[in-house]
Structures are given as structure tokens and as C-alpha cells.
Structure 1
Amino acid sequence: MAVQGSAMTMVVNHASAESFVRLIEERFPQVRTIAALNVDQLEQHIAEADALLGSSFPVDLVDQAKKLRWFQSTSVGIDSMLPIRHKVSHMIVTNARSVQGEIIADYVMAGATMLHWDFRRYLRDQAERKWAPRMVAPLGDKTLGIVGLGSIGTTIARRAKSAGMTVVGSRRDPSQTAEGVDRVFGSHELKEMLPLCDFVVLAVPATTETIGLIGAAEIANMRREAFLINIARGNVVVEDELISALRSGAIAGAMLDVFEREPLSANSPLWDMQNVIATPHVSGVPTNYAKRVFPIVEENINRFLNGQTLKNVVDLERGY
């Protein structure tokens, strides 16, 4: 929509672009908004953008984004930008980190419960009309470890603590306490933390430091009866080493929402493993996503127009 004397032009590149545009136009009639529903439309309009709203940054078009001063991500991760951060150091980058925590915590707690009770086995028994009761300890007897105590990790910690679990976690600065976390380890202290955990939840951002963070050595440091839950990024885990560990029984099982390559190949052994629950990268996507993210977008547009510091600014050097 063209606005005479517009304060800025915002290009919206998102599956819900039309919803975002409608919400922005209702609140900010002085902002010119353009819905770019596909790559061709984005390429056509990126040079006009003062601001870009989208789920990922179009790295292939960075040289055409001459006017771009601000990128608002509709998700938490901005790893698509890391290879070109030297080209966008002048740009403000913000994310939606306060939106996804609760739904991801739902996913993690549901996953921990399903793994702990071995619901996959119960479903197989049901399909075979097989009556096979067994005893299970309360979830509150267990310890959940969170690798990465950012906004999502601390939300998971609060939920796990409300279930009566012992909660431990790791972060870059272990001197920072976190609500619901009984003990905080430094990011370099996984060797000390992992053996304590019945569940290990990966909630770290995707950075050069976290690629391959969990491989054979780290898995060998986990309890044989422990489960791995990954809601971070697929490349945080060395996938073939995880598959080997799951096959050998080095750990009890895993719930995986992210993978090294997505969509997960139809040939991947993870589809058929009896101790794995695999989901198609859905843990952080609640219904009515545009409306849930819009309060952050709205506040940041208002701050941008008034020359104020934006909310949820990402440090591109750190990657989060």
C-alpha cells in the first residue's frame, strides 16, 4: 500500500504476510507496507525497504537491500544471517523471542512425558490389542537438564519445576541465576551436567560455537536411561553419531523437532526407530501466529518511528 508522505516502507515476507500488512496498516497508516508473498515479489521490492519483516533473512538479496536499516524476525533464530553479518553490521536486527517460549515448553513437557511413559509402545500394544501394564515412576522424581538458558530455556525450566522435577541448566555466564533452575553450569561444563540428567533438552541458539555441540563424546557422558529432546537447531547435534547411539542403546531415546537437513529425508533411519519421536519442526509455531507476534512488531515499529531503542535486539557477533 502506497502512503503519501510515508514515514518508512516495510516489506513483509512471510506466509502470513497479508495478515501482518493488515495489522500494520490499521495501527500505522503512515507506514507504507508491501506484502512479498514469494521470492519474485521480494526481489522486486527489497530495494524499497527501510524495514523487513520475515521468518528468515533473504541472504541472496542482501546486496539489493541498499536502504534496509532494520530486520524484524518473526522467529527467535537468526542463523541465516550469520554468514553475512559483516555485510549487515549497520542494520538493527530484532527477533520474537518472547512469543515461542510457552508453546515450546508445551512440546518439551509433552515429549518428556511420552518418552518417560513410552507411549509409542502403548500405541503399538493398542494396535495389537495387547494388554501389557507396567509401572512408571512419577515424572517429578526425574532431573531435566537444559542446554541453553535463554528465554525459551528458562520458560521450559519453569514448567519442569512446576511438574516437581529437579532442573539443571547451562549458560555462557553461570553466575546468572534462572527461575526454576536448581543448579546452573557454565556452557563449558556439559561434562559435569549431562550425567545428572534423565532428560537433556537442547535450547541453544544456532551459532558457530553450537554446531556439533552434541556428538558421540557428549552422548557417552549421558545416562543410558536418559532421553534427548532437541528443539534448537538440527546442526547442534551430530546426527549420524546420535543415530548410532540410539541403535546401540547408549541412551534410551530421543524426541527431535529439528534435523541437519529439513525436510527429513524419507530414507532417514530416524523415521523407523522405536525409541525416537520425530516431528516436522513444529514446536515453536502456535496457531494465530501473526496476532501473537504482532505486539512485538507493533512496539518496535513505534520505537523505530520515534528513534528509540528497539525491543529484542540481536547481537550478530554472538548470534543471539
Structure 2
Amino acid sequence: MAGRSGRSSQKSGARRVTLGILIFGALALIVAQTAPQISGFFVPARTTISDRIGAPADTSLWAQLSGQADRERRIKELENEVRDLARYKAAAISMAERMEAYENILNLMGEPPERGVTARVTTVVDGPFAQTVLANAGRLQGVEPGAVALNEGGLVGRVTQLGDRSSRILLISNYQSQLPVLGEVSGVRAIMQGKDRDRGVLKDMPEEADFIEGERILSSGEGGAFPRGLVVGTVTRSGNEWLVRLAMREHSSGYVRMIAPPVIIEPLPEAPPVEVPAEGAQAAPQGAG
């Protein structure tokens, strides 16, 4: 028994010695990372390991373990993005000033300001056959018949029923909705019909043209029901169909802005043709039979 006890005590002592050596080695590595005199011996090995794991060579082991290196890398990326955005902002301001100068030189008339009313959505009716919303503004607040409704995301729908203090808006997601649209990049035109609450399907497309996956879909303005250039959503392909993910669902705060519908200028009536008498013929005297 005494022999077994002695061997177990020796094994326990060996484990303690091994554990102590490991702790001492870890402390030595940490000191080597911080002490300039010692860290010089570890620079080649540390550089090789850093290259393999994709970390900068001057990043300390403690920074890698604590996540400080990732935070510093992310901060540098954000600083680069801020610098790029600052350049874009300066270019946009310069272009806007140049455009204003050109408009002044050409005496160009700009777009007229939109007349509209902002209202809160009070009732939402969602279903397979009817998708409408009720807004708490109507004729007395300046809403016009056929007004176009927008939210932060884009086009919402069109006013179909108008009361003194309320408006019912037929959503573009309604299956009865037929909205002429076009691709922002491709320029392909089609008719969007409501498919479900969040999507529409594109129909009546040209046979020899196609949309670009992920491009924005805008209202084309054809038919005169909606202005041209309103954001409708983004297009994706699903099998043999092109589907539009509606932008109005991505940014909805419960408010809509109802703007005046497009003004459709009707053509002037044609003047009746003027009969020219033939040569040698005498005009009939006024007041004759």
C-alpha cells in the first residue's frame, strides 16, 4: 500500500510540475508580445503564422484573443467608407450646382411641386380578393379623386373612393390592379398585376426582351393613372415568371402621402375641313336659297 501511495504522489507531483511549466510558458508568450526586447526574436515566426491565419503581422496575441483586432479592422473599413461617401457627396453637390447653373442659362422650367396630403392609415383590409387601406383624410383635407398614394418605400396605390374625411386606397398588390411598369436599367415595359400581399407578377412582356435580376421596377406613366418614375419594387425570377417584391412593404410607418393624379391633356378637337372652290367656280351669294 505504501508503494502505491508513493507512486500516486509522484504522478500528482509530475502533473503539478507540467501544469506549472505550461502556465509559465503562456506567461512568457504574453510577455514576449509586449516586451520590445523579447518580441524581436518572435517576429519572423509571428509573421508567418499571421500570414496563414490572415491577421496583420503587428497584431498582438491578446488583441486577437480579445477581438480588438476585428474591431480595429472594422473601424478602418468604416473610415474608408466614410471617405468614399464624402467624395461622392462632394461630387453630387458639384453636379447639383452645375445643373442649376445650366437650368438658369437655358431658362428651363423645373418640375412643378407636388400637391399632396399626408394621412394615417386607419384600416387595412387584406385578403385574397381585396387589399385596400382606409386613410383618415378626404375631400375636406384636399385629397383629390384618383389621387396617388405613396409611403417611405414607394408606390402604395390609388384612391378609388373619396369621402369628406376619409379615402379608400386600392393597393397595387390587389389582384385587380393593372399597373404599367418598366425596368430602371433594362427599360423593358410590362404590366404588373397583384399576386399576393408582398408581391406582384409581370405580364404582357415583349418576347425579345428581358428584365435584369434585382433591378428596380418603376411606374411607366402609361395610361395616365400614375406618374412616371415612382418606385414599385425589385424584380426577381421564379421559374417562368418575373415577380416584383413590393417596396411599400419594406418601409411602412402607417402613413401615406396622397398626391394629385397626373393631369391628362386631352387633344383639341379637330377643325372641320375647309372646302376650297374649284377654279372658275363662283361662290354662292350669301343669303341665297
TM-score, with length taken from structure 1: 0.21
TM-score, with length taken from structure 2: 0.23
Structure (1/2) with the larger strand percentage:
2
